[in-house]
Structure 1
Amino acid sequence: MDLTGTEKLWGSPEQAAKEIQKAIYTQFRIPSAIGMGPNMLMAKLALDLDAKKSGFAKWAYEDIPQKLWSVRPLSEMWGIGKQMEANLNAMGILTVGGLAQANLKELEKRFGIMGNQLYHHAWGIDLSTFGEPLVTNSALSFGKGQMLMKDYHTRKDIAVVLLEMCEDIMKRTREAGYVGRTITLGLSYSRNAMTKGFHRSKTIHVPTGETLVMYNVCLDLLDQYFAGEPARQLSVRLTNLEPEKSIQLDLFDERKAQRQVIGHTMDAIRNKFGANALLRAVSYTNVGTAIKRNRLVGGHLA
């Protein structure tokens, strides 16, 4: 909560926070922890890294070098997941202090807008306004992994399954009311392949809830990293989420609003009549998997 300007009513922000904490315990006998800071990020960091041990912590910008930069492993910091930690470690960045001293242009080149955000977060800088949900790739994501029934040897065949997976992921994303910026594709090759698989991400400028946008990003990643060996396992994930209502109109894309409506309409048809009631044509080919998998419950025939 934002306690700016409430001093005459409730005293200092620290006093007000501690009164709330006291009231929670008095009424419910539940201990609580409170983190405070000049922005939402720092309040969250104060909570996670300090207040959960002491019950109350207030951070200021001058506390960042001492209290935040020593944090290691990187996944201990809010907003950095295990995959991002591994990517940063590969660049020689092992602590939050190392992230703060990293080259901003290099981070942006590799991770897009997420690189810019991570750099500024390492300095305690958060420009989001109060009321915006704190959602990142580590806090919430939508994804799907699939072990293929047979080896898939060509890009064309792999693309069929990717389209089906993107359809499923985007349905769940839309129903939850989100759109996302970062798409991750993972591919593992057959046991007899001579090449290791890959796990790569791409962040787009405009967040999306459209199946085909996600699918085309997956194809770009596939074209860039696919080694031509037979594939046996795929995974796709959407992260870096924000509320769907944050999508802005595009003066140069007159059908954007129509595509959003179509997506929700398709979701409603599937919810009412079943997942197989509305499928893309590729699902009826001999490499499609959606029809068979939609009949399974927990991976087994219902």
Structure 2
Amino acid sequence: MYENLPRRSVMCVDMRCFYASCMASWAHLDVEKEAIAVVGNFQQKGSIVLAASPIMKQRFQVKTGTRLYEIPKHPDIHLFEPKMEYFVRMSVEITKLLNSYVPKEAIHVYSIDESFVDLTGTEKLWGDPVETAHQIQDELYRQFEITSTVGMGPNMLLAKLALDLDAKKTGFAKWDYEDVEKKLWPVTPLSKMWGIGHRTERTLNNMGIFSVGDLAHADLATLEKHFGIMGNQLYYHARGVDLSKVGEAPLIEGQISYGKSQILMRDYNTKKEVLAVLLEMCEDVARRAREAYKVGRTITLGISYSKNAFGGGFQRSRTIDEATNDTMVIYRVCQQILNEQYNERPVRQISISITKLESENSMQLSFFDATRWRRRKLGATMDQLRTNYGSSAVLRAVSYTDAGTAIKRSKLLGGHKK
């Protein structure tokens, strides 16, 4: 089945312990020899570790997700708060190094510490792509003192899977289509495979699918019935097939949702406080959709209660008749869901998303809502002001209340101090 599929030379490069390595470089420490941890916020004892050096993990059992109060007091331990602007600058410089080997169109920056690079066609310049990948790894270390891991494959998917499932143990791994049956199909649980979350895994398990091999041999029509277009993607990804190109599209074609999740800095004990943050979050989600000229029909609200109230929560979705990117329409739907589901317990986390997206050009003007176009223009104007002058340039009144978080978050980068 692989005869007619493209066989490119794609590498997926991941900078190991990126945050910890950056802070080690900044403090003139050796990340391989020192116990280093990057902690979200020293002022909060429950703040989590964002990254830890190998020695920190091995010697002190401190890893990503460990709480600040769980870190032992020891003179050999170096703790840092994140310097997000520094991390972003380092990421940009790493991308510039990759750009010295291939054009920008052959690079897809997947995250701050991970990128795809298509080395196809560089053989006359740099020689064998595998040797080029090793050369890039060596140069990354010489220039930035950060070790990297690389997965290679004939497409983005197999390069990513080689990285996640193999290279992180050895530093480098190359997979081809012929390796799928031996290396990919035995993988279980399903959530170990890129692109399959725990909720999808549970659904697949309920269908009798427990390994990637089971998924590759499942009935395609049944998968499409349960998951729509995602079912088709799951089926072919389980067989190592991915036709997306570096620089043109990510592994999943197109944005399938716009969402935002926020862990609150304290328990929010009243519905009024929760609604204040909800409105801010709806503004963010709607803005991203408007900037992409997308509208959505399904709105999802998730609420997690505080551990002080024994946790729990709910997630509910509602599909509306007309797709929207209007902040207040999204907010009113979330408000309805909250009114129905909220049981007056303290809230610690809120998530919102809109899905079932379509082009904004498909949005019909209504004879019964003459103000819709005016609201859309107003939203676009507010979006432009925030783009030009910062996210706090134009805020709703709720952001100036004690419950509002937008002003404080506007001073953060990636959710952390700049």
TM-score by length of 1: 0.62
Q: 1:83 to 1:211 in 2, by over 3 A?
A: farther
Q: How does 1:14-29 map to 2 (within 5 A)?
A: 14-29=130-145
Q: Are 1:293 and 2:403 an aligned pair?
A: yes
State the distance in 2 between where 1:72 and 1:44 align: 17
User: 1:202 and 1:109 mapped to 2: Cα distance?
Assistant: 20
Q: What is the correspondence of 1:165-204 to structure 2 with a 5 Å cutoff?
A: 166-170=281-285, 173=288, 184-186=300-302, 198-199=314-315
Q: Which residue of 2 aligns with 1:264?
A: 383
Deviation, 1:200, is 5.1
Match of 1:33 in 2: 149
Query: SS at the partner of 2:118?
Result: coil
Q: Does structure 2 retain, via aligned residues, the 8 Å contact 1:144–1:237?
A: no
Inter-partner Cα distance in structure 2 for 1:229 and 1:5: 57
Instruction: Give the equivalent residue in structure 2 for 1:62.
Output: 178
| Corresponding position of 1:238 | 353
Matched residues in 1 for 2:362 and 2:203: separation? 36
The Cα of 1:266 is off from its aligned counterpart by 7.5
Per-residue CA distance 1:143-166 (angstroms, 9 max, x = gap) = 24677645x7xxxx9x97796265
Relative to structure 1, is the Cα distance of residues 218 and 91 closer, same or farther in structure 2, using a 3 angstrom cutoff? farther
Give the distance between the partners of 1:23 and 1:270, measured in 2 at CA: 36
Structure 1 residues 1-302: aligned runs within 5 Å: 1-132=117-248, 134=250, 142-144=260-262, 149-150=269-270, 164=279, 166-170=281-285, 173=288, 184-186=300-302, 198-199=314-315, 211=327, 222=337, 230=343, 232=345, 235-238=350-353, 250=361, 253=364, 258=377, 261-262=380-381, 264-265=383-384, 267=386, 271-272=391-392, 275=395, 278=396, 291-294=401-404
Identify, as 1 or 2, the structure richer in helix: 1
Give the C-alpha shift of residue 216 in structure 1.
8.0
Partner SS for 2:352: strand
**CA distance in structure 1 between the aligned counterparts of 2:135 and 2:200, rounded to whole angstroms:** 38
1:166/1:25 Cα in 2 relative to 1: closer, same or farther (>3 Å)?
closer
- The separation in 1 between residues aligned to 2:249 and 2:184, in whole angstroms, is 22
Q: Using a 3 Å threshold, how does the CA distance of structure 1 residues 92 and 197 change in structure 2: closer, same or farther? A: farther
8 Å contact 2:277–2:403 — kept in the other structure? no
In 2 relative to 1, CA 228–186 (structure 1 residues): closer, same or farther, beyond 3 Å?
A: closer
CA-CA distance at 1:249 after TM superposition? 6.1
Q: Is the 8 A contact 2:294 2:359 kept in 1?
A: no
Q: Deviations over 1:74-105 (max 9, x none)?
A: 22212223333334334333222222233334
2:127 & 2:364 partners in 1: Cα distance?
A: 51
Q: Is the partner of 1:4 in helix, strand or coil?
A: coil
CA distance in 1, matches of 2:214, 2:390: 48
Q: Distance in 2 between matches of 1:239 and 1:43?
A: 30
Does structure 2 conserve the Cα–Cα contact (< 8 Å) formed by 1:164 and 1:290? no
Distance 1:229 1:218, change over 3 A: closer
The structure-2 alpha-carbon separation of the partners of 1:20 and 1:262, relative to structure 1 and needing over 3 Å to count, comes to same
Provide the identity percentage. Answer: 42
Q: CA deviation at 1:45?
A: 0.9
Aligned length: 267
Deviation at 1:201, TM superposition (A): 6.1
Contact 1:170-1:210 within 8 A present in 2 as well: no
Gaps of 5+ in 1: 190-195, 284-288
Q: Structure 2, unaligned stretches of length 5 or more?
A: 1-116, 306-311, 366-372, 410-418
Q: How has the CA–CA distance of structure 1 residues 291 and 36 changed in structure 2, closer, same or farther, with 3 Å as cutoff? A: same
AA in 2 matched with 1:101 = H
Q: What SS is found at the alignment partner of 2:209?
A: coil
- Residue by residue, what CA displacement relative to the aligned partner does 1:234-257 show, whole Å, maximum 9, x if unpaired? 8433388x9xxxx85626657698
Instruction: State the Cα distance separating 1:49 from its structure 2 match.
Output: 0.9
Q: How far did 1:212 drift?
A: 5.8
- Shift in Å, 1:131: 0.9
3-state SS of 2:361 partner: coil
Indicate how the Cα distance of structure 1 residues 83 and 26 shifts in structure 2: closer, same or farther if over 3 A, else same: same
Q: Cα 1:203–1:38, aligned 2, differ >3 Å: closer, same or farther?
A: farther
